[in-house]
Structure 1
């Protein structure tokens, strides 16, 4: 089943990708999510362009970043600064189980949307907040994006950059946002369970900084335990254990080996790749010797893998019991048999009937992927939602004429 949260209503006042992606995950799990957008253009993510990509060259009429963070939702365009708009917001919150937002504390206070004020509308609503740096501390009201709050400040870039690199590692769009969003969604699910069992509706907080700290927890813990600034790493292409490293094939592709128990797999692996000599070489067995002679072993494996193309190695290693994988391109993931079999991508259709794919939330229930649904158009469901809230057409028309709704 994919409708585990069926009957749960979520009001989302959030933009960009981090917090909206939490709403998308909850929608995948069955919740009804109403996305509130302003009347001056809506979520700025709708107009985001990614460097090197010309929207005019897309084969479908869809914004892939909006789809990731907003599929399955309904959108209402409201000016919550107006009297009519605040009444609409109040009515939405009165019916909601969760109020989800990425507005910072000071902005919520200015909008008269403190936790206490929201609880006046609905004492049982769960308030869930996602921020850059957290809800407390001197930078609680400082904005954040994942490249800064997660990648930079969370020590992700520092810990993952090889010491011989000229520049620190960077990230693809929403790299930390999507990880943070699924974490926030999990926190909301826990809060819903807590409310169901105790009657108490907690405030849920998460941040991009906290997600970075969680992602880099081993490095941060080691820094404390050993008084070091990072776990020691070699230059790019090296590894303490040659059986846990990446190797380039003849055609320029890469294979990742992850033989954490190298002694268990080493002999069969070496025979499989046509290097039985390495299986009995005392320099490479047992594991302690392999690590002690890692430069020599790595050089031998580099030479061996460079003799064949990736397709050849995929056939040779097909029955390898040790863990390994091809470094896949994003385009290859679209047709990965495991991705397809497990429904990790949902296929949606645009207005012209052209199909496109977007990622679903990475958690399923009873082995059932969520139903494919697109992201809403800007304010697409404004009138439907107002009718559900009890507004008649005269009131809706008046609100439109006053600029309170789209």
Structure 2
């Protein structure tokens, strides 16, 4: 299996999901990722036991998907960076690393002496990577942010999916939604920076903000607004279909499940669709017989399609529509996504053995090399690799004990 980041060492000083997710992707690709966690508190995300109303930890075990997802494949070192005795250890780790990855705020970076200048003073060739809420410049450079604020709310997604006049704003569809998108973005930036360093010999400072990732995700409507030089008019979509195409949009089956149609060429797929759903008569109906008429009478056609879909259960339509060439998808819940046959056929639901020796499964990152699925290893327990990593730096047992007595290492 090709692991293109083999031989790259990443030193991660970060918490929660946004930046650690990038480290997980790099670990999937073969990098040696050393995660620095506070010697006493660890990554704050380890303390989240309930998220979005769900238990975040598997009962009776150490397995926590909220930790495993953004931290698989790493080694954890417990180090209190504010302790002077920890500084030589940190600097030795910096010397041996290709990438320094952090989401600490500017004030914390300055206090802990892990800002660009501090790290580059130890290793001038290191690629320095910052994940932030709102970017490294401007009045909000020192402000923290989460994906619900910087990505979802500020970045335009929340407004884009909340219907006009709604009583409540539509929330993100999953925990760490923007964080995971942002982590993948950071991983790509790091890969580009390492390539640039290999070609030019010059290391980069890489910045990715949740707000920037949010705006990138909604760029179509943002770009349209920029062209219009003002807010876009609010359009209320038709109940079914689109304004000119009955084969675009969501339709509900008789058992309350949804089917999403996205056949952007209605004239091409209308006759096939009518045959599949048992309404061949509609293909020859003078209201819909030609593409121009179908588009002009899309609202009427969409009402008919809605009635047809509502007449049979979800499983029926999944089987029937699978016979055609037109584009559509079943609207799946989280469990169904995990069982999706295409994801499983492509190795994108991956096996991993947890710290208790139990076989588990996680979503793999979507990038593959040479059609080979990534092989995942579990996330580390808190400070699990402190002794291993520090001994590899040449520290003796006596020095390790002294660091632990001082509270500088765990």
TM-score grouping bracket, smaller chain normalisation? over 0.9
Q: Could you tell me which residue of structure 2 aligns to residue 142 of structure 1?
A: 143
Task: Look up the SS of the partner of 2:51 in the other structure.
Answer: coil
Quote the Cα distance in structure 1 between the aligned partners of 2:383 and 2:299.
60
Q: CA deviation at 1:85?
A: 1.0
How is 1:5-404 mapped onto 2 (pairs within 5 angstroms)? 5-48=5-48, 49-55=50-56, 58=59, 61-171=62-172, 172-230=174-232, 232-235=234-237, 237-238=239-240, 239-240=242-243, 241-404=245-408
Cα offsets for 1:57-114 (capped at 9, x unmatched): 6475311111110000000000111112111111111000000000122321222222
Query: Which whole-Å CA distance do the structure 2 matches of 1:158 and 1:66 have between them?
Result: 30
Contact 2:156–2:214 (CA under 8 A) maintained in structure 1: yes
Summarize the Cα distance change of 1:51–1:310 in structure 2 as closer, same or farther, 3 Å threshold.
same
SS in 2 for 1:257: strand
Q: Conserved in 2, the CA contact under 8 Å of 1:2 and 1:28? A: no
Q: Distance in 2 between matches of 1:380 and 1:231?
A: 54
Number of matched residues?
Answer: 406
RMSD between superposed Cα atoms in Å? 1.7
Alpha-carbon distance between aligned partners in 2 of 1:71 and 1:4, rounded to the nearest angstrom: 17
Q: Deviation of residue 277 (structure 1)? A: 2.6
Distance 1:237 1:127, change over 3 A: farther
- Structure 2: runs of 5+ lacking an equivalent: none
Contact 2:58-2:64 within 8 A present in 1 as well: no
5+ residue gaps, structure 1: none
- Asked whether the 8 Å contact 2:294–2:301 carries over to 1, the reply is yes
For residues 232 and 282 of structure 1, do their structure 2 counterparts lie closer, same or farther at Cα, with a shift above 3 Å needed?
farther
1:230-287 per-residue CA deviation (whole Å, 9 max, x = no partner) reads 3654248443332111111111111111101111111111111112232233433544
Partners of 2:57 and 2:63 within 8 A in 1? no
Q: Deviations over 1:4-61 (max 9, x none)?
A: 1000000000000000000000000000000000022200111112132235764753
Q: CA deviation at 1:294?
A: 2.9
Pick which of 388-397 and 226-235 moved more. Answer: 226-235
**TM (normalized to structure 2)?**
0.95
Partner SS, residue 245 of structure 1 = strand
- Of the structure 1 ranges 121-130 and 38-47, higher mean CA displacement relative to structure 2 is found in 38-47
For residues 170 and 161 of structure 2, the distance between their equivalents in structure 1, rounded to whole angstroms, comes to: 7
Over residues 335-385 of structure 1, what are the superposed CA-to-partner deviations in whole Å (9 max), with x where a residue is unaligned?
Answer: 211111111122122344322211121101011111121110000000000
Large movers: runs of 4+ above 6 Å: none
SS of the residue aligned with 1:39?
coil
